Amino acid sequence: MTRAPMPLPLPGAPGSEPTPRSTLAWQALRQRWVCMGPRCQERNGLRALWKLPSRIQLQQGWCCSPDCFQAAFERLATQFLRSERPRGPRAHRIPLGLLLLSRGSIEQTQLRRALEARQTEGGRIGEWLVRQGAVSEDTIAAGVGLQWARPIYPLAQSQGWRQCQGWAPRALLETMRMLPLHLAAAQRRLYVGFTQTVEYSALAALAAIYECATEACIVTDSALDAVLEQMRAAPADGAVQEADFEKMSGAVEIAGIVRQYARYAEARQIRMAPAGPFLWVRIRGERVVHLTFRLR
């Protein structure tokens, strides 16, 4: 298994006017060293050197102690819980059924039957068309690819996903029907497969946590199911663990839980990002732990 990408160095602070290099260097030093804890005693100075071994990187900043970490995390989580979920470009997509009909892949009666089934039993139109034998899964994937203007990835013929195993928690993969497929290391671009809906918040979360670009591809449902089954049977590697939490009361409770896991994992770096119905927290230290908190 390939290691997850390491974060890039901090970019220069954005500003409209050019800032003297010495000021930039000082700002970068402060940003790197000043504790994020809102009530930290050492907030306005550089942290005491004796505290170095217990420092934790949170997002792009640092926390000098578990107390400061918990307070800083709580503040960030509160902002995340209040903020809008990232949305993708609001294109007006042709409904999949109509698209397949216009391409002559299905007939009117087949579409009507699938629509009726979806109305009474739920699910997605593509699943019903396959289940009723109207089209193959590949035709659905091609249709979804056209709908979202994304390429098809031949997941059933590839083991490339193993390179990225353990990079995202299974709760995310299973709920959002997605899979990290391949990291193009040179471009630092992560390709992510989706079956019938491209979840932009998941792409944004992966981009934020691994500091890489992300790009969506389309994979078939059965290929994704086969991979998820293999993951359940043989999890990534003992050093990657995950826990899924439901019915959280809010940022205070989440911060308390993350602090406990941070201690367990001997955390050096913690990143979080909203992804669909979750707040996803990745803890990296002696162990890697993914935590998912269901928000709705």
- 103, 126, 169, 205, 253 from 257: Cα distances, Å: 51, 39, 17, 20, 6
Q: Which is nearer to Zn ion, 230 or 269 (CB)?
A: 269
Does residue 64 bind Zn ion (CB under 5 A)? yes
List C-alpha distances in Å: 143 to 102, 147, 151: 11, 6, 11
Residue 73 sits in the site that holds Zn ion (CB under 5 A): no
d(CA 155, CA 159): 7
The DSSP call for residue 8 is P
Q: Which stretch binds Zn ion (CB under 5 A): 60-68, 118-126, 190-198, 267-275?
A: 60-68
Residue 122 identity: G
Residue among 119, 114, 173, 176 at smallest CA distance from 143: 114
What are the DSSP calls for 176-219, one per residue?
HTEEEEEEETTTTEEEEEESS---HHHHHHHHHHHTSEEEEEE-
Judged by CB, which is closer to Zn ion: 37, or 169?
Answer: 37
Shortest separation between residue 261's beta carbon and Zn ion, angstroms: 20
Contact between 68 and Zn ion by CB under 5 A: the answer reads yes
Give me the least distance between CB of 93 and Zn ion, in Å please. 48
Measured from the CB of residue 63, what is the shortest distance to Zn ion in angstroms? 6
37 binding Zn ion? (CB under 5 A)? yes
**From 40, 155, 219, 231, residue interacting with Zn ion (rule: CB under 5 A):** 40
From 35, 129, 202, 217, residue interacting with Zn ion (rule: CB under 5 A): 35
Residues at the contact surface with Zn ion, assessed by CB under 5 A = 35, 37, 40, 64, 68
